Amino acid sequence: MRNRIAVLALAPSLLAFSNPYSRHLDPPTPAWVYVASAGSVLVMGSIWFVKTIKKSKAADGPQALKQRIAPAVAYFGNSAERKTFKQIHAAEELQRFAAEFWSKRDPDATTPGNEAKDAYEQRLKHANENFREGRRAGWETARGRVHLLHGPPDEILREHWIDLPLPGVSIKSLEFWFYYRPASAGEPPNLFARMNAGMVKFVFADVEGVGLQRQLYSSEPGEQKDSRVLLGATPAESERRK
Predicted pLDDT at 175 = 94
Pair type for strands 213-218 and 155-160 = unpaired
Least confident of 46-55, 95-104, 141-150, 187-196: 46-55
Distance CA 44, CA 1 (A): 11
More confident residue, 96 or 238: 96
More confident residue, 34 or 16: 34
Question: What is the DSSP secondary-structure string of 45-109?
Answer: HHHHHHHHHHHHHHHTSHHHHHHHHHHHHHHH--HHHHHHHHH--SHHHHHHHHHHHHHTT-S-T
Please choose, from the candidates 165, 181, 164, 182, the residue with its C-alpha nearest in 3D space to the C-alpha of residue 173.
164
Distance CA 222, CA 188 (A): 12
Does residue 236 carry a pLDDT above 50? no
Percent of the chain whose predicted confidence (pLDDT) is above 70: 67
Q: Are 175 and 203 in contact (CB under 8 A)?
A: yes
- pLDDT confidence bin for 227, thresholds 50/70/90: confident
Distance CA 45, CA 39 (A): 10
- pLDDT confidence bin for 238, thresholds 50/70/90: very low
CA distances from 9 to 17, 35, 43 (A): 14, 10, 11
Identify the helix (H) or strand (E) that includes residue 87: helix 79-87
Distance CA 144, CA 152 (A): 10
Distance CA 116, CA 208 (A): 36
Predicted pLDDT at 85 = 95
Average pLDDT over residues 152-174: 81
Distance CA 169, CA 217 (A): 15
Q: Are 228 and 167 in contact (CB under 8 A)?
A: yes
Q: CB atoms < 10 A from the CB of 137, how many? A: 16
Average pLDDT over residues 128-151: 96
Predicted pLDDT at 191 = 86
- pLDDT confidence bin for 3, thresholds 50/70/90: low
Distance CA 33, CA 36 (A): 5
pLDDT, tens only, 38-84: 666 666 655 654 454 444 444 567 888 898 999 999 999 999 999 99
Q: Are 91 and 61 in contact (CB under 8 A)?
A: yes
Identify the helix (H) or strand (E) that includes residue 199: strand 199-206
Bridge partners for 159 per DSSP: 174
Predicted pLDDT at 240 = 40
pLDDT, tens only, 167-226: 666 788 899 999 999 998 878 888 888 899 989 999 999 877 777 899 999 999 989 888
Predicted pLDDT at 95 = 94
